[in-house]
Amino acid sequence: MGYDFRMSEADFIARLRAIATDPAARGLADDAAVWEGLVLTHDMIVEGVHFLPDDTPQDVAWKLVAVNLSDLAAKGAAPVGVLVGYSLGDEAWDAGFVDGLGDALRRFGIILIGGDTVRVPAGAPRSFGLTAIGRAPAGGAPSRSGVRPGDQIWVTGTIGNAGLGLAMRLGQVDPNETCLAAYRRPQPQLAFGQAVAPHVHAMMDVSDGLLIDAQRMAAASGCEIGLMVEAIPLSAALLAVRPDVLDTRLAAATAGDDYQLLFAADPAAAPAIREIGAALNVAVTPLGHAGVGEGIMLTYRARRIALPERLGFMH
């Protein structure tokens, strides 16, 4: 997810950036650090903030691994291993967490390198941290900041399933398996990220919402990103629950937890990108273009529309 802050935290991030002067840190403005051929990232998840107290420990462990590997995917990295910071709970919960962690390690072919375990005071929300390490692609890890005016903007998969899955978990919407699974077991686009990295100018993962993350990419790159809201890929599972209207599309684009890849490439790379998507069975959708300017600009059926007040999940 990288260092993404609310305005009230602007002073904090400014201070932190002032001491993160090494190029490896990428100004704390990218999904991950790149140091001597390695890609490194550290994300935390907190009970009641990033997961629900009644999420299963297996799902929490999976999510902790998956959100960090999604940052590696966005840098085209091949994941190697993780270090885990763990807050102990009760015995059954802890055992379930290890089961979920083991599932994720096997699924992604990575190793548990080490970590630490602490006991938090009774009743306190638990927090978990994970550091993931991967190998950078031979041609270098794409950053968020490389978008060039004229680039085509793409996204993998579909957007909004996990956000709707969270609403289902909260009993606000009738559940369906596809959306619940997207919330419970996000799938980082590792193979696609590695394959597409040589073809992109910039790449990041969509963790806090398509719109807010596109805005961050535009800001990091010093250009404007124009997105066609009608092109945002929505799943059949989402459209079975929600009508295909503008509000549905904006809700999906601001919900977060998608863990898809957002990337910018020269339009001439489109055939190669489509070929990679087809080979890996990953949907790839062109969403718009970058231009001279700043921020994001939304159109819906060829008309410019106002940005929603909230562009994504701020945590």
Nearer to a second copy, 1 or 179 (CB): 1
Q: Taking the complex as a whole, how short is the minimal distance between the CB of residue 35 and a second copy, in angstroms?
A: 6
CB 264 within 8 A of CB 147: yes
Q: Taking the complex as a whole, how short is the minimal distance between the CB of residue 315 and a second copy, in angstroms?
A: 7
Query: Residue 303: phi, psi to the nearest 5?
Result: -115, 140
CA–CA dist 218, 262 (Å, integer): 11
If binding is defined by CB under 8 A, does position 28 make contact with a second copy?
yes
Q: Taking the complex as a whole, how short is the minimal distance between the CB of residue 206 and a second copy, in angstroms?
A: 17
CA–CA dist 57, 205 (Å, integer): 24
Token pair for 197 = 């990295």
Site for a second copy in 73-132 (CB under 8 A): 80-81, 83-85, 87-88, 91, 94-95, 98-99, 101-102, 105, 111-121, 124-125, 127, 129, 131
Site for a second copy in 187-226 (CB under 8 A): none
CA–CA dist 124, 112 (Å, integer): 26
CB 205 within 8 A of CB 262: yes
Q: Taking the complex as a whole, how short is the minimal distance between the CB of residue 60 and a second copy, in angstroms?
A: 14
Q: Taking the complex as a whole, how short is the minimal distance between the CB of residue 172 and a second copy, in angstroms?
A: 21
Host H or E run for residue 110 = none
Host H or E run for residue 122 = none
CB 154 within 8 A of CB 276: no
Nearer to a second copy, 53 or 271 (CB): 53
Site for a second copy in 228-267 (CB under 8 A): none
Nearer to a second copy, 120 or 305 (CB): 120
Q: Return the range that interacts with a second copy (CB under 8 A); candidates 11-19, 187-195, 258-266, 281-289.
A: 11-19
